[in-house]
Amino acid sequence: MGGNNYATTPLENEPRWPEEPGPYLLLLETSGPLERRLLSGWIERHKPASAAGGEVQVAFLPQTRRRRRRRKLDPRIEAFLHAGANPLLIPLRVIWLPEKRRGRRTVGWRDILTLGDPRDPDPVRQFAIYRFRPDRCRIVIGEAERAESVRKIWEDQEERGRSSGIGLVQFTAQQAWVHLEQAERKLRGSRYKVPKFPKESLVESATFTAGVAQLAHESETSYEAMAAKTRRYAHEIAATHSPYVIDLVTGAIRWLISKAYTSLDYDEDELAALYTIGQNHPLVFLPSHKSNFDHLVLQYVLYQNGLPPNHTAGGINMNFFPIGPILRRSGVFFIRREFRDNEPYKFVLRRYIDYLLEKRFPLEWYIEGGRSRSGKLRAPRFGMLAYVVNSYLRGSADDIVIIPVSIAYDQIQDVGAYASEQAGGAKERESFRWLVTTVRGLRNKAGAIHFRFGAPISVKGFLALQDDLPDDPDDTRNPAIPKLAFEVAVRLNEVTPITPTSLVTLALLSADDRSLSVADTVDVLGPYLDFVTRRDLPTSEKLGLDQPGKVEATLAELESHGVVESFQGKTATIYRVRQHQHLAAAYYRNTIIHFFVNRAITEMALIHLVEQGAQGKLLKKIRKEARRLRDLLKFEFFFSASDEFDREIRKELVDHDVDLQQHLEQEDVAAILERFRPFVSHAILRPFFEAYRVVGDIIEENAYRTGIDKDAIRPEALQLGRQYVLQGLVAKPESVSKVLFDSALSLAANRGLFDDGPTTVNDRQEFAAELRDAVEHLEKLMVWRRG
């Protein structure tokens, strides 16, 4: 194709002229003379032959492809809107496509190193592409609407108080842009569904400006000053997606994944189902947070499967050059760590969330707040969830669908840093230097990354079951929010897959400081594999850990990452957790520990009753003791409500003892306990109770002091914990953990042990005694285990 024959030579897959009768007003968005000629040529080729000379009129929209200074609206738009002819508004645009790579038209790093974004060529490049690669040039037509229909939509929004704060002409232009974006998205794909002018759309809306006026009144400041402040906050917070950057970042993520991991494991059908849900309701993705890779790999998976990019809440600490601008343009919006007393900031964040949900843009954040340093799911944070729930209650969407996403790793690149932090080391501050160091450290591939999607949660359906919703939609004390967060956490745990690494580290840490051969490891794994099979627990793959070859391969992977070491003996190679790596091994074990907690609690309840010589109403006593242990561990695990928990303990008893009823009638607790062999509680719960015991001993030592400083206990606990390990009073080195000590301190605070009162001394002493008693029962189970 060449020359200047724009009017007669059609482009590939040209759209048809709308079938409705005239008059017509074509709203053209162009960025240069070639695009104007191409669109004029399309009009000449496709306009109805019956259209009279004055029935086809043209006006120009300000171009939006880049963030150039926005020109004034073409005065012809206003003239034709008020002429009374009710024209059919037809938006038109030329789009430019990248070259095909691996069957998909995407931007690559080669583009940024040559001539920039191929989707937005400058006028000179446009002529070159049109002449030599016309397949990369297309015309799109937005949905056509009658002028009176657009006017009615605008007037309805004014009446309902949902006005955008702009006049009819500007609103008409915005509608045309929206329809052009939708038409372009059909061609490019939903992976580029992003807002064009999020900050402008936000701060220019009537609800926003009215809110600014109210804030100015309440703070006794001028409207202009408050408007300037809220605009700054909108600029600080809002993501500014760029399809160009999205493609480039996705290419970089692909390279990082290939460098650090072997494969991504997910179900394409599940993602297709999520895409369908997202067509009708805004989606909120709530992934578990184990690694700095989490956001990157989820972004990549959504992109690969044609889902729109998420608007991801990120900490302001990640907004450093040059990463911050790149993250913002790939979909991250940044939130300050603290803004409790900053009402203008909270107002802007609320309105930004409203805007995203109203437009059905998907959201993402980590409900745990930060990365798990222990491997277990952290206690949920309610802040962002409250903003989303309150936005729903304000009417931003007819429903919001929450998608729990468990992201599990065969091995985690960050695990060494986590172990160091748990042992008392400082967290390394994020910076460009930190990023470079992290990327350089990706030497050994760490297996696969596994995605599992929990059952979606309808916010509308969930809230409909709650009886105590507040009248004020902005009430931060909404009791439904913690319940919803708890439900998200439960669904995350339910689908977290058990990996070979997690089970093998569980076996090694179960070995009472013995080194294990491959055959030994297979033997130790046997009961756990049987439990996984009987309970039909989720797994990352067909585990195959009853086969020595698979076990040996998993041990070799752990050794290559420095978690395990081996010794070549005369008859066998033996393995053990490397010195100072118990916290790293425990991290992998803890990712699946929740599946075994109820069984371990049941074992501990039974040994307690055996030691008591309990008789009469045994089932009731088992439940009571299990509830007591559950209360001690309530800051570690997501337990069911009391009645459901009782049923779960009963299930453990029934599953392990087929003669349970007979043994209850005979009051033979020891016989019930025997049916639980081999015991798992020492491997599952001993590290927690040993860590708690350390904190309890420090509190007891200071029992007679007033005003114990909780923060001062942490370094003392690390020091005393290391001492206890050397003395043999703590059997598990992974018990010396800041994360576990913090949970113990939370439990102590929950029991009022840092307050001063008439029973405080006794309460502190009883707390320490209760924890020592738990450790003693675990030791007695060890004796039973060997017997």
In this prediction, residue 351 carries a pLDDT of 95
CB atoms inside a 10 Å sphere around CB 438:
17
Longest dimension (CA), the chain: 103
Q: In terms of Cα–Cα distance, which of 146, 184, 135 is closest to 23?
A: 146
CB atoms inside a 10 Å sphere around CB 653:
24
Helix (H) or strand (E) holding 286: strand 283-287
Confidence class for position 732, pLDDT limits 50, 70, 90: very high
In this prediction, residue 113 carries a pLDDT of 61
Q: In terms of Cα–Cα distance, which of 707, 711, 776 is closest to 746?
A: 711
Confidence class for position 119, pLDDT limits 50, 70, 90: confident
Q: At what angle do helices 548-560 and 500-509 cross, to 10 degrees?
A: 80
Beta strand pairing call for 137-141 and 88-96: antiparallel
Both tokens of residue 482? 């913690």
Confidence class for position 159, pLDDT limits 50, 70, 90: low
**What is the rounded average pLDDT of the residues 113-133?**
83
Q: Is the dihedral of CA 555, 561, 562, 566 positive or negative?
A: positive
Beta strand pairing call for 311-315 and 363-364: parallel
Both tokens of residue 18? 């709308």
Alpha-carbon span 351 to 205, nearest angstrom:
10
Alpha-carbon span 212 to 731, nearest angstrom:
60
Alpha-carbon span 646 to 623, nearest angstrom:
6
In this prediction, residue 161 carries a pLDDT of 55
Tell me how far apart the terminal alpha carbons of the chain are, to the nearest angstrom: 88
Confidence class for position 7, pLDDT limits 50, 70, 90: low
Question: Which comes out higher in pLDDT, residue 49 or 233?
Answer: 233
Question: Which comes out higher in pLDDT, residue 154 or 645?
Answer: 645
**What is the rounded average pLDDT of the residues 402-412?**
96
In this prediction, residue 189 carries a pLDDT of 80
Alpha-carbon span 246 to 26, nearest angstrom:
31
Average pLDDT, the chain: 90
DSSP-assigned letters across all residues of 465-527: T-S---SSTT-TT-THHHHHHHHHHHHHHHHPPB-HHHHHHHHHHTSTT--EEHHHHHHHHHH
pLDDT, one tens digit per residue, over 503-526 is 999 999 998 778 999 999 999 999
Angle among Cα 641, 647, 650 to the nearest 5 degrees reads: 140
Q: In terms of Cα–Cα distance, which of 451, 432, 500, 443 is closest to 291?
A: 451
Alpha-carbon span 755 to 406, nearest angstrom:
39
294-298, 402-406, 439-443, 587-591: segment of lowest average pLDDT: 439-443
In this prediction, residue 2 carries a pLDDT of 44
In this prediction, residue 513 carries a pLDDT of 76
In this prediction, residue 59 carries a pLDDT of 95
Confidence class for position 1, pLDDT limits 50, 70, 90: very low
In this prediction, residue 54 carries a pLDDT of 82
Q: Taking 50 as the threshold, does the pLDDT of residue 420 lie above it? A: yes
CB atoms inside a 10 Å sphere around CB 200:
13
In this prediction, residue 572 carries a pLDDT of 93
Question: Collapsing DSSP states into helix, strand and coil, what is residue 721?
Answer: helix
In this prediction, residue 252 carries a pLDDT of 87
- Per the listing, tokens 């053990």 go with 576
Confidence class for position 4, pLDDT limits 50, 70, 90: low
Q: Taking 50 as the threshold, does the pLDDT of residue 239 lie above it? A: yes
Amino acid, res. 61:
L
**What is the rounded average pLDDT of the residues 615-624?**
92
Max mean pLDDT range (293-297, 409-413, 595-599): 595-599
Compute the half-sphere exposure of residue 336: CA atoms within 13 Å on the CB side of its CA: 14
Rg (CA), the chain: 32
Confidence class for position 115, pLDDT limits 50, 70, 90: low
Alpha-carbon span 463 to 511, nearest angstrom:
47
Has this prediction a pTM greater than 0.85?
yes
Q: In terms of Cα–Cα distance, which of 690, 743, 733, 684 is closest to 713?
A: 743
- Per the listing, tokens 């997202």 go with 278
- Which stretches within 280-414 are classed as H helix? 293-304, 323-329, 343-358, 383-393
Q: Is the dihedral of CA 220, 225, 231, 236 positive or negative?
A: negative
Percentage of the chain with pLDDT > 70? Answer: 94
In 516-547, which positions are buried (b, 16+ CB within 10 angstroms) versus exposed (e)?
Answer: bbbebbbebbebbbebbeeeeebbbeebebee
Confidence class for position 787, pLDDT limits 50, 70, 90: low
Amino acid, res. 520:
D
Q: In whole angstroms, how far apart are CA 15 and each of 7, 8, 40, 58, 140?
A: 15, 15, 14, 18, 7
**What is the rounded average pLDDT of the residues 614-634?**
94
Both tokens of residue 150? 């657009």
Angle among Cα 743, 774, 646 to the nearest 5 degrees reads: 80
- H, E, C per residue of 509-520: HCCCCCCEEHHH
Both tokens of residue 257? 């994944």
Q: Is the dihedral of CA 665, 666, 669, 675 positive or negative?
A: negative
In this prediction, residue 162 carries a pLDDT of 57
Both tokens of residue 305? 């499967």
pLDDT, one tens digit per residue, over 182-215 is 898 888 888 888 887 788 888 888 889 999 999 9
The length of the chain in residues reads 787
- Per the listing, tokens 């045994």 go with 618
Amino acid, res. 276:
T
**What is the rounded average pLDDT of the residues 739-745?**
96
Q: Are 374 and 739 in contact (CB under 8 A)?
A: yes
Burial of 339 (0-12, 13-18, 19+ CB in 10 A): middle
Helix (H) or strand (E) holding 564: strand 564-568
